[in-house]
Amino acid sequence: MSAGTRTSPVASPSGLLRTMTRRHRPLFLAAGLVLLAVLGWAAADRAALFRASGEAHACIRAGGNCDAAFAQLANAETALQYFQFALMALPLLMGAFIGAPLIAQELERGTHRLMLTQSLSRARWLTAQLAVPAAVVLVTAVGCSLAAAWVRSAARGATAQNYWGRWETPVYSTFGIVPVAFALLALAVGILMGLLVRRTLPAMGLTLLLCAGLDALFLWVRPHLLPVRTWVGHGGYQLKGEVWMLSDGVVRADGSWLPYHRCPTPSGCRTGTVFEQYHSQDQFWPMQGVESALLLICAVAAVAVTCAVVRRRAF
Average pLDDT of the residues of the chain:
84
The listed range with the strongest mean pLDDT (62-66, 76-80, 250-254, 264-268) is 76-80
- The confidence score (pLDDT) of residue 2 equals 43
Q: Kindly report the length of the chain.
A: 315
Binned at pLDDT 50, 70 and 90, residue 232 comes out as confident
What pTM was computed for the model? 0.85
- Other Cβ atoms closer than 10 A to 232: 12
Three-class DSSP labels, 30-73: HHHHHHHHHHHHHHHHHHHHHHHHHHHHHHHHHCCCCHHHHHHH
Rounded to the nearest 10 degrees, what angle do helices 100-109 and 122-158 cross at?
A: 150
Q: Tell me the mean pLDDT in the region 163-183.
A: 91
**How far is 198 from 101, CA to CA, in rounded Å?**
9
- Other Cβ atoms closer than 10 A to 67: 9
DSSP 227: P
- The confidence score (pLDDT) of residue 35 equals 94
Query: Is pLDDT at 3 greater than 50 in this prediction?
Result: no
Comparing 222-226, 270-274, 288-292, 308-312, the range with the smallest average pLDDT is 270-274
Query: Is pLDDT at 4 greater than 50 in this prediction?
Result: no
Comparing 15-24, 185-194, 228-237, the range with the smallest average pLDDT is 15-24
Three-class DSSP labels, 63-121: CCCCHHHHHHHHHHHHHHHHHHHHHHHHHHHHHHHHHHHHHHHHHHHCHHHHHHCCCCC
Binned at pLDDT 50, 70 and 90, residue 97 comes out as very high
Query: pLDDT, tens digit, for every residue of 27-37?
Result: 889 999 999 99
Query: pLDDT, tens digit, for every residue of 128-152?
Result: 778 889 999 999 999 999 999 998 8
DSSP 162: G
| Residues 6+ away with beta carbon under 8 Å from 283 | 226, 229
CA distances from 254 to 208, 270, 276 (A): 49, 14, 18
Q: Tell me the mean pLDDT in the region 157-182.
A: 85
**How far is 248 from 273, CA to CA, in rounded Å?**
11
CA distances from 178 to 107, 141, 145, 219 (A): 32, 10, 9, 11
Binned at pLDDT 50, 70 and 90, residue 6 comes out as very low
Q: Tell me the mean pLDDT in the region 166-194.
A: 94
Binned at pLDDT 50, 70 and 90, residue 41 comes out as very high
DSSP 95: I
DSSP 25: H
**How far is 190 from 193, CA to CA, in rounded Å?**
5
**How far is 315 from 303, CA to CA, in rounded Å?**
18
**How far is 309 from 205, CA to CA, in rounded Å?**
20
Q: Tell me the mean pLDDT in the region 195-223.
A: 93
Higher pLDDT, 109 or 248: 248
Q: How far is CA 291 from the centre of its chain?
A: 11
User: Which candidate, 7, 42, 231, 220, places its Cα nearest to that of 120?
Assistant: 7
Q: Tell me the mean pLDDT in the region 11-22.
A: 61
Q: Tell me the mean pLDDT in the region 226-242.
A: 83
Q: What percent of the chain has pLDDT over 90?
A: 42
Burial class for 5, CB neighbours closer than 10 Å (0-12, 13-18, 19+): exposed
Query: Is pLDDT at 116 greater than 70 in this prediction?
Result: no
Range list of H helices, 169-276: 169-172, 178-197, 200-221
